[in-house]
Amino acid sequence: MSHLFWYTARAAGIVAWALLAASVVWGLWLSGRVRPFGVRPAWVLDLHRFLGGLATIFVGVHVLAILADSYTSFGLSDVLVPLASSWHPLAVAWGVVGLYLMLAVELTSLARKHLPNRIWRAIHMSAFPLYTFATIHYLAAGTDATNPMSLAAIVVATGCIVALTIRRVSEMRARAARRATRTAPSRIPSRVEAPPAQVH
């Protein structure tokens, strides 16, 4: 029982990363109008929000368990200030920055109705660096990251996110090109009447 909080922190961290990865994948499905298994868009949106909220809760459990654990002896500054930790400071710093990004994404999503769409979208795009920082933190600080199943999950999740992102960017470029084609002025010269024939 002496390492209960340490094991809790490890388990919560793994679950939080998995939920975050799933939330990003579902968000890309939603924005790219992909309907897995033919489900309704509202269902995909609800699941995306649920996964994001649940990931935030497990990150909270992860942080609180680390603070309560006597094996690592983390303080508030260690989990809130990047590079303040004496234990693998850089590896922990990735997680600290990821924590702030997650809070920014989640809180602005809850307040979306009160924010301009452009601001909400710009902050929501932080989900990409958030996933990157969380994955680096998992690999650098996680004691279970070298497990083959963990590595396989990281490869699969990252591959899905990259593929869906490429698809989404391609769709946006194609849509922009179609919009530009519709709004471009016609370059066809107007018909010019021939001068009347002269009578000799």
Give the residue among 108, 137, 139, 113 at the shortest CA–CA distance from 125.
Answer: 108
Chain centroid, CA 77 distance in Å: 26
Instruction: Give me the pLDDT at residue 161, please.
Output: 95
Q: Ramachandran region of residue 88, left (φ > 0), alpha (ψ -120 to 50) or beta?
A: left
How far out from the chain centre does Cα 186 lie? Answer: 41
Q: In this predicted model, what pLDDT tens digit does every residue of 87-115 receive, in sequence order?
A: 889 999 999 999 999 999 999 999 999 99
Pick from 136, 144, 104, 101: nearest CA to 9: 144
Q: Identify residue 12 by its one-letter amino acid code.
A: A
Q: What is the residue whose two structure tokens read 């922990």?
A: 92
State mean pLDDT over 147-158.
Answer: 93
| Distance from the Cα of residue 164 to its chain's centroid | 12
Q: 């946006």: which residue's tokens?
A: 172
Amino acid (one-letter) located at 193: E
Cβ atoms < 10 Å from Cβ of 46: 12
Confidence of residue 163 (pLDDT cuts 50, 70, 90): very high
The length of the chain, given as a count of residues: 200
8 Å CB contact between 164 and 32? yes
pTM of the model: 0.84
Task: Please write the tens of the pLDDT for every residue from 15-58.
Answer: 999 999 999 999 998 877 666 666 777 888 889 999 999 999 99
Average pLDDT of the segment spanning 142-146 = 78
pLDDT in tens, 57-79: 999 999 999 999 877 789 999 99
* pLDDT at 184 exceeding the cut of 70: no
